[in-house]
């Protein structure tokens, strides 16, 4: 059985896809590791009628950054998953496609760590360009 980081010859884009999905769970754990104690420490009342903004207003902003990043991993990376699966289905698994996929995953991991610690936005823009290139590769494959 191949390891998580060893691409299968027939489906080389699945490994970066699963790596990013796995990273999402790491960020979820990081989010809860900060959020659950913060809810208690800052005596945040919990009610089904409360919005996220209501719950967050008493929690310091830096403790919310991992949650912000987790939410971001539910947004643009969904396009990455779709494009990676489309490229896999189109059998576009050349070194450029695989390199772009791993670059995207690497940038998202770096973005997560940096955003959760300091909250800048530049790395997000870089990963957007890489995802655009991956998408373009798929568009060219179907033309």
> Using 50, 70 and 90 to split pLDDT, how confident is the model at 119?
confident
Beta bridge pairs of residue 8: 11
16 exposure class (CB count in 10 Å sphere: 0-12, 13-18, 19+) = buried
Distance of CA 112 to the CA centre of its chain: 7
pLDDT digits (tens, 9 = 90+) for 44-67: 988 899 998 888 899 999 999 999
> What are the chain's domains?
14-142 (1.20.120)
Q: Encoding tokens for residue 14?
A: 């699945």
């Amino acid at each position: 059985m191949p390891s998580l980081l060893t691409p299968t010859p027939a489906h080389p884009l699945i490994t970066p896809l699963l790596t990013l999905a796995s990273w999402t769970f790491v960020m979820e754990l990081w989010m809860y590791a900060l959020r659950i104690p913060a809810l208690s420490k800052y005596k945040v009342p919990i009610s089904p009628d409360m919005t996220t903004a209501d719950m967050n207003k008493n929690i310091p902003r830096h403790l919310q950054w991992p949650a912000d990043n987790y939410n971001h991993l539910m947004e643009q990376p969904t396009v990455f998953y779709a494009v990676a699966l489309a490229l896999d289905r189109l059998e576009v698994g050349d070194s450029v496609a695989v390199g772009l996929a791993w670059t995207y995953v690497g940038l998202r991991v770096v973005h997560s760590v940096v955003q959760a610690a300091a909250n800048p936005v530049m790395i997000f823009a870089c990963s957007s360009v890489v995802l655009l290139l991956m998408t373009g590769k798929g568009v060219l494959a179907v033309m």
